[in-house]
Amino acid sequence: MEELIAKRYIKALKANSDLESMTSITTVFSALADSFKDEKFIGIIDNPNVQSAQKQEILLEAVKSAKSNQIDNLIKLLVENKRINIIPAMAVALVKDVANSTKTYGGIVSSNSDIDAKVVAELSGGLSKKFDSNITLTSIKNDFNGIKVEVEGLGIEINFSKDRIDSQFIEHIIKAI
């Protein structure tokens, strides 16, 4: 539900903004969304005893360094409509929107072993060429038995599981017998 409401606000923002200002708004809202991970901040924002004017003052102070009337007006509008809690959803939607506009995406390569930086760069280059985008991959070591490549913004997930390959190999041998 929050995502749908956030998309409406973003649609209105995009109508009056260029790519550069949307990128700046995305940066501000991403930083503001990080504040929602702090228990004390959430306690203040969700507290019914704190007046809307005080919440607005706190949020405006947080975005003051951006020096943007558009951001200030958006914050005021969110406070007025009691929609402060959609700020994290707006940040996520803004990041996706800017990524789609610039065709720049980030992704993750997961494996239970270390992957050479050269291999990650080759994967990035190959995917970038295939999808006509700029894709940057980072390697993460976890417990996945194989290799998994995820680029969320494009909806790409490629994985090569050693367990799955082993089971398919055994299945193939059984069918041949």
Q: Which residues pair with 140 in a beta bridge?
A: 110
Q: What pLDDT is attached to residue 169? A: 73
Asked whether the predicted pLDDT for residue 167 surpasses 80, the reply is no
In whole angstroms, give the CA distance from residue 136 to residue 154: 12
Q: What is the CATH number of the domain that holds 164?
A: 3.40.30
| pLDDT band at residue 155 under the 50/70/90 scheme | confident
Quote the domain boundaries for residue 16: 2-99
Residues 118 and 151 in one domain: yes
Residues 109 and 90 in one domain: no
Q: What is the CATH number of the domain that holds 14?
A: 1.10.520
| pLDDT band at residue 76 under the 50/70/90 scheme | very high
pTM: 0.73
Q: What pLDDT is attached to residue 89? A: 92
Residues 77 and 28 in one domain: yes
User: What stretches of 36-161 show up as alpha helix (H) in DSSP?
Assistant: 39-46, 52-62, 69-80, 87-102, 117-131
Residues 46 and 108 in one domain: no
| CA 163 to mean position of chain CA atoms | 30
Residues 88 and 113 in one domain: no
If one counts the domains in the chain, the total is: 2
